[in-house]
Amino acid sequence: MHSDDHIWRQIEMLLSDAHDSVILVAPFVKRAVFNSLLAAIPASVQRIDCITRWTPSEVAAGVSDPEILEIAQVDPRVSVWLCATLHAKVYIADARCLVGSANLTAKATGRTPGPNIEILIETHTTHPEVDRVMRALDNRKSAATSQLAALIRAQANLLTDGINTPAMEPHLWYPTTRRPEDMFRFYSGKDNFSPAVEDGMLKDLAVLDLPAGLRESEFRSAVENQLHSIPELSELLKGESITNSDLERAIEARSSLDNHKSRRIAENIAAWLKHFGDYYTQVGSWELRHGRELSR
């Protein structure tokens, strides 16, 4: 322990006085800190909920560990939940709580040299703002699963090791998988696909860097926004149409890919825009347009 562990002692003292239930709310939770906190909670406590956020880039940066789920799975009292939009930090023991800035990391809690400057203030769970946040979390949280934890870790590993795509930055990204209709089911950890298909979808998800736990409508909107960042689509987004040959030539010019690869990327982009956005293609030497195709 270090001399600047004031935040840690605040949380530890709060949890050690718990009798019935504990709730830990923090976007960043590190495995070692989580394990130490569970050890501080009395055996009489019957329910421990941890609400957190898993995003590939944050896990890759080392500020959060999806492996906390492994710890939770050996303690029947503990449940881990995900909230994609979480930023609040709240620590609750029965009717008492701490609110402030500190995540459950060594730097935030003072369990390492050179800690962050953080603040936690004690209040009561009946405080209107605490009540508002907890009700919002109850409406937005979803259960963490082993499949989601493994998927986030796999995406983080790709970001750490470097992804074999034309570029890693979202604004230079081209979709890899040719079946965008499968993306949400894969992202949600609900279905298994062939290794080759999963490899492509995993690379797409890693570059998209979406937090786990988005609802399907939120997922679709987030993906469409990333598609709109592809420079070759600038004219399309202004309300103009774009032909397949124009799109292929623009991709070749920027990425130095050959004609076959640029054609495949153009087809992928069109498929993704049709699935995630309000676009359609005409048949033959196709043209990508905004809107819906008229029935004939």
Each residue's pLDDT tens digit, 227-248:
998 988 887 778 788 888 888 8
**239: how many CB neighbours lie within 10 A of its CB?**
9
Question: Residue 151: what pLDDT?
Answer: 96
Question: Alpha helices, DSSP H only, in 1-101?
Answer: 6-16, 31-40, 56-60, 68-72
Q: How would residue 111 be classed by pLDDT, with cut points 50, 70 and 90?
A: very high
Token pair belonging to 59: 């896990």
For tokens 């962050």, what's the residue?
A: 116
pLDDT digits (tens, 9 = 90+) for 199-229: 999 999 999 999 999 999 999 999 999 999 8
Burial readout 259-289 (b: 16 or more C-beta within 10 A, e: otherwise): eebbbbbbbbbbbbbbbbbebbbeeeebbbb
Kindly list the domain boundaries of the chain, sorted by start residue: 6-143, 162-290
| Domain 6-143 part of CATH 3.40.50.740 | no
Predicted TM-score (pTM) of the model is: 0.88
Q: What is the mean pLDDT of residues 104-111?
A: 96
265 compared with 165, residue with greater pLDDT: 265
